[in-house]
Amino acid sequence: MGALKGLLKKGLGEMDFNTGGGLINWFPGHMAAATRAIRNRLKLADLVIEVRDARIPISSINSDLQPHLSLKRRVVALNKKDLANPNIMHKWVNYFESCKQDCIPINAHSKSSVTKLLELVELKLKEAISKEPTLLVMVVGVPNVGKSCLINSIHQIAHSRFPVQEKMKRAAVGPLPGVTQDIAGFKIANKPSIYVLDTPGVLVPSISDIETGLKLALAGSVKDSVVGEERIAQYLLAVLNTRGTPLHWKHINNRRVDGITYEAKENDRYNLKNLKQRRGSPNRSDIVYVEVTNSNNGI
Ligand SMILES: Nc1nc2c(ncn2[C@@H]2O[C@H](COP(=O)(O)OP(=O)(O)OP(=O)(O)O)[C@@H](O)[C@H]2O)c(=O)[nH]1
Q: What spacing in Å lies between the alpha carbon of 173 and ligand 1's midpoint?
A: 6
* DSSP state letter for 81: G
Ligand 1 pocket test target in 114, 170, 173, 196 with most atoms within 8 Å of CB:
173
Residue boundaries of the structural domains of the chain: 2-23+208-286, 24-198
At 197 the pLDDT is: 87
At 96 the pLDDT is: 94
Q: Each residue of 243-295: pLDDT tens digit? A: 766 654 555 555 554 555 545 444 444 443 444 444 344 444 434 344 544 44
Q: Each residue of 105-164: pLDDT tens digit? A: 999 999 999 999 999 998 999 888 888 888 999 999 999 999 989 988 988 887 776 665
Look at the pTM and tell me if it is higher than 0.95: no
CATH of region 24-198: 3.40.50.300
Q: List ligand 1's pocket residues with C-beta within 6 A.
A: 79-80, 82-83, 107-109, 141, 143-149, 173-175, 177-180, 200-201
Nearest CA to ligand 1 atom 3: 80
Q: Each residue of 32-86: pLDDT tens digit? A: 888 888 998 899 999 999 999 999 999 999 988 999 999 999 999 999 999 998 8
DSSP secondary structure letters along 7-47: HHHHHHHHHTTTTT---EE---HHHHHHHHHHHHHHTT-SE
Q: What spacing in Å lies between the alpha carbon of 176 and ligand 1's midpoint?
A: 8
Model confidence band, residue 223 (pLDDT cutoffs 50, 70, 90): confident
Model confidence band, residue 176 (pLDDT cutoffs 50, 70, 90): low
Q: What is the Cα–Cα distance from 25 to 208, expressed in whole angstroms?
A: 9
